[in-house]
Amino acid sequence: MMKSEFYNIAKALIYALEIKDPYTSGHSYRVFKIAKELGQMFDLNDDDQFNLEGGSLLHDIGKIGIKDDVLFKPSSLTFEEYTVMKTHVILGANIVSQIPNLKRCLEPILFHHERIDGKGYPHGAERDDIPLIAKITSIADAYDAMTTNRVYMPARMPEEGLEEIIRFSGTQFEPVVVEAFVAWWQKKYKEKDPILNADHTLSAKLEESLLIDTSKLH
């Protein structure tokens, strides 16, 4: 499949997700952007870089299949609700597996909530069993989630987001990816890049994210 065809399909899927969940609009695109730039620091080959970009963009697509009362619950989830929420990684992999020849694109989707200490989900995979492109997506996702307002938690400052990523190095996150993230963050901080502080920059979040320009995705 041509890259441009894939991105058109991805854009349609993200559009569908954001119709359901405008609250996290922009999240998919920011995670994609962070993951893409981290991938470039690892000198991935073209296939890996593409699988990282596509998979990180679609990492939460399975949330389309999560019931609204679980997805939008403002307080903490019960054990049963959390079990439902966790299925979004499997649902997402199932959705994207309908597109032929994108097997490795599924890695960031299926593994982005795994932890290197084996305490993540869905499989409790450990360090060496988690693909690098999923480890990269996991950090991009966690950082953006922390620094954005969520129904269950207000946004944290970029510095706090960075500290949290460092705190979980070696347990949740792969240290070598944390190192790359710290270098990336410091560079963006110096450049005053708005990506570090998503909530303060995306004033018209919904419109902006629904009008993703595919040229940005290349």
Q: Specify the residue, 60 or 107, whose C-beta has the smaller distance to Fe ion.
A: 60
Do the beta carbons of residue 148 and residue 157 sit within 8 Å? no
- Residue whose CB is nearest to Fe ion in the complex, by number: 60
CB of 214 to Fe ion, least distance (A): 23
Q: Specify the residue, 18 or 60, whose C-beta has the smaller distance to Fe ion.
A: 60
Q: Specify the residue, 84 or 189, whose C-beta has the smaller distance to Fe ion.
A: 84
Q: Specify the residue, 94 or 189, whose C-beta has the smaller distance to Fe ion.
A: 94
Helix, strand, coil percentages for the chain (3-state, nearest 5)? 65, 0, 30
The whole-angstrom separation of Cα 25 and Cα 100 is 27
For the four alpha carbons of 73, 24, 18 and 48, in that order, the dihedral sign comes to negative
The binding site for Fe ion (CB under 5 A) comprises 60
Query: Quick one: residue 110, left, alpha or beta (phi over 0 = left, psi -120 to 50 = alpha)?
Result: alpha
CB of 60 to Fe ion, least distance (A): 5
CB of 157 to Fe ion, least distance (A): 22
CB of 205 to Fe ion, least distance (A): 19
